[in-house]
Structure 1
């Protein structure tokens, strides 16, 4: 998965590479009605993001060992339908954009062909003191 630098802007563009990770909804992720609690979708996005990075040979641990942290700075989430206990769902993760200091992911949580949740999550890279840093090469390739 390679990113192309756009010479007109410092932002990087991609043709939206994506990763799909299948997960079965567990009992403890649900409310008393058997529906996935809305807060768990944020956990699913983290799982999707981590597995996407892992599938391309990267690991957050290496970034953290270099003294950098990838933090969520914005989430825009639209809930369309609920996943239920024991459903098999797909976490679809795409890289929408990378700038000098931010990574923007798009997500879909699907049950078969049905889109349950759509979201955009913006991440920033900071150092141990909380100062904004450039996105490291380890996250670009």
Structure 2
């Protein structure tokens, strides 16, 4: 299984009055990590969209275990948990680099839809070249 590691530093603007990262920022981090993960498969979101495919989020989840703080270096480990012709489930684990403590676990589910009709498509059948690039689990 391919796991990508994305490194980020917590910025002051991402923290709340309590001095910890606001819960909404984890989803921004997931998006950054997901984009980097896909680029490591030798394709970009832009190339996927240029093929006429969109990948809207249809479900998200995050369990917060310990708060990240301003100045922390974090590592987001991203992998594909499930892949079918019509959807992909990404898994995320957020760690603090200094002590390897897990801070959060999450997932996102994205469907494959046509950009012109916004209808679900099966990329395994319709786009076998894309399927072969992302079918790494």
Higher helix share: 2
Higher strand share: 1
TM-score normalized by the length of structure 1: 0.83
Q: What does residue 80 of structure 2 align with?
A: 95
Listed as ranges, the matches of 1:119-138 within 5 Å are 119-128=106-115, 129-135=117-123, 136=127, 137-138=129-130
SS of match in other structure, 1:96: strand
SS of match in other structure, 1:138: helix
Change (3 A) 1:140 1:120: farther
Alpha-carbon distance in structure 2 between the residues aligned to 1:138 and 1:99: 13
Alpha-carbon distance in structure 1 between the residues aligned to 2:132 and 2:71: 35
Change (3 A) 1:52 1:139: farther
Measured against aligned partners, the alpha-carbon deviations of 1:71-129 in whole angstroms (never above 9, x if no partner) come to 11111211101111111000110111110101111110100311100012111111122
Which of 63, 69, 94 lines up with 2:48 in the alignment?
63
Q: Is the 8 A contact 1:58 1:139 kept in 2?
A: no
Aligned residues: 126
Measured against aligned partners, the alpha-carbon deviations of 1:17-71 in whole angstroms (never above 9, x if no partner) come to 1100110011111112221110010011111110011122110001111221111
Change (3 A) 1:140 1:44: farther
Q: What does residue 103 of structure 2 align with?
A: 116
**Structure 2 unaligned residues grouped into runs of 5+:** none
TM-score normalized by the length of structure 2: 0.86
